[in-house]
Structure 1
């Protein structure tokens, strides 16, 4: 009788052990399966979700295969249970286990938004309004209301944000992006102002920002920035009008349709530097770090004029007669390349 009982116990032990190894093998195979994603995919784990909810989300999207082993994961791998809510990016060739480890880490995907140098504040608002995974709060806000929210004591926000790429996680707000961009701008501007050249015709960091915005609109060629800056600094020192087309365009607002006519150059606006002396009242665009540095550290030159060369750059002149020849050459270039 005892011998028979021992045989039964041994058989049950073998059966249990075999069952354990079978289930353990099935669970490991389940976790090692590759996700069926062919490109990067975004998935959001909601607040309060557990690992079973995560499995369901992945199955619903068709990224993992169903298996009875799923219900044994908690028992055999308790270290995988604690996952964190967030929005994550899954990569091709990831395994299910890799995905769960990502959810456990809490390393949410960093989205990016890029603001181009020379763009305007209204363009920034339009771009922010279209960005997915960002909390949109500015749709019904005026520029003055946005300034108040940011603690900026100015009615116009043009130029007060640094143009570059900003990263954010899902759920961050548009006002948070602008706040970071403003703080970054002020840090760069104040640092540049502390290291500016002596005897510049600029009274404040804001003046430097205004000049930087004009430089930004006049050239996209990095090697030209300091020389463009020198022209404007030289003209300011000589009490000459800046006579720069981008300021005219900015002052025209919605009336600008792609061309500047002679009457536009003569029409007074606060920004028309063919009419006013000195700088316009505000920046005319968002700027990058390099334009700010150029504004406060211009090239040492005697240039007073520049005109497009036709190949993307500019021709610089020290006298009006030289400039007029360069203008004629540019017009001739345009006629030949119609």
Structure 2
């Protein structure tokens, strides 16, 4: 979904459209509050939610992967439960990256399953029960912050540091699923993702609104041995904010000849990929995409496209580690 321009206006200058749509935003916020207020399943193991207040991509999937790896290093059996957005199967189902496709289980669970056991379940409580029964020591909820069907032992709110909370208003008047104060009242920490300039911007605009501890992190390209310097590329991405991926490539020194911004989770049909391949050949460019997009590639194109993986990094994990210690997950 392409965000309206007024969603990014400063909070103190929302514009006419945001003011006109504010009553609808209040209705949306009340509906969210009713969903959250429901009593949910209390799991027998710790449940950690990685969610967001903003609609759209903020970096939840890299955060889930980073947190799961941190827990695995501590000897924990980590299972991830996801709704499986974009998949045709309802679950609960444990994802097998060797046999399932993104069309069946969604691209994010398929990517996560390469790192740790991942489940899809339209009914999140049923997914948590299945993960428990399968031996999970700790369960990560991929999204689900605004879903009250499962009790959370800890909640991390992930936010794009550059975008912040937009104009601070709720859909459709702004980019938020609920008011900041309500969301952060249920949160244990905020994880802001971006470079130093973006972190400074977030601090200047939103430090007064963030009432919980904050962890600053960044998405860092994984070293794969591929030399990006002056490499001509045709890049495509169907993530929340494709322009961030394109900027990363340019930052690595790639010669970005063509940038195809797709909608989030857009299917990579053979017809689409054939068109991109023809364009890449005409430009003398290498096709490049993200890890999340790569799992949706038709089999015939998997050897033709280079993937640029990124990992969530931070200079100080103490905020996260302190919360894990409180949950007995040292």
Shorter-chain TM-score above 0.5:
no
TM-score, normalisation: structure 2? 0.23
- Structure with the bigger RCO (C-alpha within 8 Å, sep 6+) is 2
